[in-house]
Amino acid sequence: MSIFKGAGVAIATPFNTDGSVNYDEFGRLIDFQIEHGTDAIIVCGTTGESATMTEEEHMEVVKYCIDKVAKRVPVVAGAGSNCTETAVKLSKAAQQDGADGILSVTPYYNKATQGGLVAHFTEIAKAVDIPIILYNVPSRTGTNIQPETAVKLCKEVDNIVAIKDATGNMSQTSKMMQLADGCIDLYSGEDGIIVPLMSIGGIGVISVLSNIAPQQTHDICAKALEGNFAEAAQLQLKALPLVDALFCEVNPIPVKAALNMMGFNAGSLRLPLTEMTAEGKEKLAKAMREYGLIK
């Protein structure tokens, strides 16, 4: 059973000027997402700057999001770590607080073997009963879940059910889907190739773009889920200049700048991430105007 189909937003975490979480604005962002068609909210992922949160803060943000959403859409909690024990702790807390699923990234820096990945994710899955989405983003973690490994996990571990694929490697992803024979729910982890991944069996996206264009991202997925790939492709292509601008600097630098341009108070970023350059802001603002998000 899929956790969700369509566009799930990898939601940004707004900060106050002192660096603390701005919960009032976070609530506003959550409501904006739900009111504009988002199919799920993914909290404390890469875009949410989970890497610079303490464990306690991470758990507080997840709980706040779950409570604020109040079952209006599914909430998937980022709960990954390069330490298996920490990932288990975060996953248990998310389940206890009512998360509908877990997003679990590959261990970073220590670069586990494929056997180590199987052991890591299996240990997490044993600790919780809710569904788990594997997160494969080798450009950030230095570790790639091979197709055979993903399929093994989804076939042998009951609550490992899906993968967020941010490899950008269509050949690898196609091989995984061929080997899976329907056992893996595939979510695109890249906004620029939502439709291509859905054309080989994907059921949606975990999206940065959705932070500023939730209805439009939902519509791309909805058209593809209907089998209307011609219209889905048109919407995908229209969004590409904006997607390019959202990734012209390291995510989530541009998306937080974009939210601020739209009148939200997303605040700044925690070091080592820094404010967007003037050149980047100019490119982003131009793309947003052309897409109709700002004047």
On whether residue 258 sits in a domain, the answer given is: no
CATH number (domain holding residue 213) = 3.20.20.70
Taking a C-beta distance cutoff of 8 angstroms, is the pair 73, 34 a contact? yes
On whether residue 220 sits in a domain, the answer given is: yes
**Catalytic choice (63, 68, 152, 164):** 164
Per-position pLDDT tens, the chain of length 295: 589 999 999 999 999 999 999 999 999 999 999 999 999 999 999 999 999 999 999 999 999 999 999 999 999 999 999 999 999 999 999 999 999 999 999 999 999 999 999 999 999 999 999 999 999 999 999 999 999 999 999 999 999 999 999 999 999 999 999 999 999 999 999 999 999 999 999 999 999 999 999 999 999 999 999 999 999 999 999 999 999 999 999 999 999 999 999 999 999 999 999 999 999 999 999 999 999 999 9
Give which of 144, 152, 153, 210 is closest to 173, Cα–Cα.
144
Which structural domain range is residue 212 located in? 6-226
**Catalytic choice (63, 68, 135, 283):** 135
On whether residue 262 sits in a domain, the answer given is: no
On whether residue 210 sits in a domain, the answer given is: yes
Taking a C-beta distance cutoff of 8 angstroms, is the pair 10, 206 a contact? yes
Domains: count for the chain: 1
DSSP character string of 111-144: ---HHHHHHHHHHHHHH--S-EEEEE-HHHHS--
Taking a C-beta distance cutoff of 8 angstroms, is the pair 120, 89 a contact? no
- Report the pLDDT value the prediction gives residue 96, as an integer from 0 to 100: 98
For the question of residue 135 being annotated catalytic, the response is yes
On whether residue 266 sits in a domain, the answer given is: no
On whether residue 268 sits in a domain, the answer given is: no
On whether residue 265 sits in a domain, the answer given is: no
On whether residue 178 sits in a domain, the answer given is: yes
- The total of other beta-carbon atoms located within 10 Å of residue 4's CB is 24
For the question of residue 164 being annotated catalytic, the response is yes
CA distances from 20 to 44, 93, 154 (A): 15, 21, 37
Tell me, yes or no, if the pTM score tops 0.85: yes
